[in-house]
Amino acid sequence: MALKVEHELHHRRLGRNVGLALVLLAFVALVFGLTLVKTKRGDFNTQPPAASAEEGN
Amino acid sequence: MTDTSFETQVQQGDAGFGDFFALLKPRVMSLVVFTAFVGLLAAPQPVHPFIGFVAILFIALGGGASGALNMWWDADIDRIMKRTRGRPIPAGRVTEGEALGFGAFLSVLSVVMLWLATNWVAAAILAFTIFFYVAIYTMWLKRSTPQNIVIGGAAGAFPPMIGWAVATGGISTESILMFTLIFMWTPPHFWALALFMKSDYHEAKVPMLTVTHGRKATRAHILIYTLLLAPIALGLSVTSIGGPVYLAVAVVLNLLFLKGAVDIWRRDEAQAEADGYRTEKKVFGLSLMYLFGHFGAILVESTLRVYGLGGW
């Protein structure tokens, strides 16, 4: 017979670990999204400012 | 070893996810999110929706981090007061060290991420807000002066300025007035609550105005701050973020709030106790509507402006 150890403490640990995993995944998605937006907007454009301004107009 | 201490030892270090979330003071965060959101949308420069979302998220996280640091520092008085005994640290679910590490890490993370996502001005104001709330309010003013809530209220007033800075990269008359509106609103809002909440600050040796100067003086303070608040609220209507909708809302809410403050001032403790602090409770409820009404009106004006309406 398998020994089953169930305690409220284990639920809390599981909840904390799953929660942390989700937060980390969300953070990765957030940084990825931010990078996409900033790249598309040209925030990291290395062209001279004048050329960038003309393109923007 | 008593049963209580045994239970505490078992629980320490095994906090659930919800306990760490509770350290962020989620209810306070809702005000931070709303006012920062309004500050961001009211600004003349548009912000990319995703960047706006990220900015609000990290402003809220910065506010939450300062809440965690506040709970770390105030753990001793939280254990004494009935209202705060259930918080994660006094309840023994989170250790003080964990709260300190959690709050400090999230403070740095939120400021750095806000800087990377938006600009250094917004990040600098967020960093100052955290510093102000933790060092100036929590560590210094809260336990040393009955004016703690007045000066400490500044920490809660910064979010719309941060939202504005996210969009514009700077500070303006409008953002300073939004700051001042919350700054001047905090004392009458909090003192109205202090009048009917028979709190145990006295036991915790926190000098609240109701305890140090008495309830009569607190009633007078509410009236004075409400009188000073009205011109600031009305003054916002003539700035670039104001307009007829905002003015109408501001006139109505300020008249109601002033009437409430006068009613509180006229009453004494015997009258208040006789009707269960009805007026004080009503004014406290009104104060919540007051702030959400003003910022809601700014939001309406900025939305109307998109369609060529709104403003003067």
Crossing angle of the two packed helices B214-235 and B173-196, in degrees rounded to 10:
150
- Alpha-carbon distance of B163 to B42, in angstroms, equals 9
Beta-carbon contacts of A27 under 8 Å, excluding residues fewer than 6 positions away, are none
- If you ran DSSP here, which 8-state letter would residue B132 be given? I
Of B136, B171, B206, the domain-final residue: B171
In a domain, B3, yes or no: no
If asked whether residues B134 and B269 sit together in one domain, one would say no
Give the percent of chain B with pLDDT over 70.
Answer: 95
Is residue A55 within 8 A of residue B59, CB to CB? The reply is no
If asked whether residues B200 and B287 sit together in one domain, one would say yes
If asked whether residues B159 and B215 sit together in one domain, one would say no
If asked whether residues B161 and B24 sit together in one domain, one would say yes
If asked whether residues B116 and B31 sit together in one domain, one would say yes
In a domain, B4, yes or no: no
Tokens representing B247 are 């003015």
If asked whether residues B103 and B177 sit together in one domain, one would say no
CATH number of the domain enclosing B123: 1.10.357.140
ipTM score: 0.79
Is residue B166 within 8 A of residue B119, CB to CB? The reply is yes
Q: What is the CA radius of gyration of chain A?
A: 23
> Taking CB atoms and an 8 Å limit, are A16 and B117 in contact across chains?
no
Question: How many CB atoms within 10 Å of residue B269?
Answer: 13
- Alpha-carbon distance of B77 to B72, in angstroms, equals 10
Is residue B62 within 8 A of residue B129, CB to CB? The reply is yes
Domain that holds residue B291: 172-312
If asked whether residues B106 and B27 sit together in one domain, one would say yes
If asked whether residues B160 and B58 sit together in one domain, one would say yes
If asked whether residues B75 and B140 sit together in one domain, one would say yes
- Total of domains in chain B: 2
Of B155, B171, B187, the domain-final residue: B171
Among B14, B45, B118, pick the best mutation site for testing chain A contact (most A Cβ within 10 A).
Answer: B14
B20 contact residues in A (CB cutoff 8 A): 16, 19
Which tens digit of pLDDT belongs to each residue from B265-291?
Answer: 999 888 888 888 899 999 999 999 999
In total, chain B counts a number of residues equal to 312
- Position with higher pLDDT, B295 vs B209: B295
In a domain, B261, yes or no: yes
If asked whether residues B302 and B181 sit together in one domain, one would say yes
pLDDT at position B3 over 60: no
Which tens digit of pLDDT belongs to each residue from A2-31?
Answer: 666 677 778 888 888 999 999 999 999 999
If asked whether residues B148 and B222 sit together in one domain, one would say no
Give the pLDDT score at B13.
57
Q: Which of B56-70, B171-185, B202-216, B281-295 has the lowest mean pLDDT?
A: B202-216
pLDDT at position B112 over 90: yes
- Alpha-carbon distance of B117 to B54, in angstroms, equals 7
In a domain, B184, yes or no: yes
- If you ran DSSP here, which 8-state letter would residue B87 be given? S
Give the pLDDT score at A7.
77
The alpha-carbon gap from A19 to the nearest alpha carbon of chain B, in Å, equals: 6
Average pLDDT value for chain B: 91
pLDDT at position B35 over 60: yes
Give the pLDDT score at B10.
45
Give the pLDDT score at B206.
81
Burial of B138: CB neighbours in 10 Å, binned 0-12, 13-18, 19+? buried
- Alpha-carbon distance of B272 to B279, in angstroms, equals 8
State which residue of chain A sits closest to B119, comparing Cα positions. A43
In a domain, B7, yes or no: no
Of B171, B200, B230, the domain-final residue: B171
- Alpha-carbon distance of B17 to A18, in angstroms, equals 8
Q: Calculate mean pLDDT across residues B67-72.
A: 96
Confidence of residue A49 (pLDDT cuts 50, 70, 90): low
If asked whether residues B108 and B146 sit together in one domain, one would say yes
Give the pLDDT score at B196.
85
State which residue of chain B sits closest to A40, comparing Cα positions. B48
In a domain, B8, yes or no: no
In a domain, B105, yes or no: yes
Give the pLDDT score at A8.
77
> Taking CB atoms and an 8 Å limit, are B50 and A33 in contact across chains?
yes
Which tens digit of pLDDT belongs to each residue from B154-164?
Answer: 999 999 999 99
In a domain, B91, yes or no: yes
> Taking CB atoms and an 8 Å limit, are B54 and A34 in contact across chains?
yes
pLDDT at position A1 over 70: no
Matching residue, tokens 């705060």: B84
Crossing angle of the two packed helices B173-196 and B159-168, in degrees rounded to 10:
160
Chain B neighbours among A 1-57 (CB < 8 Å)?
Answer: 9, 11-13, 15-16, 18-20, 30, 33-34, 37-38, 41
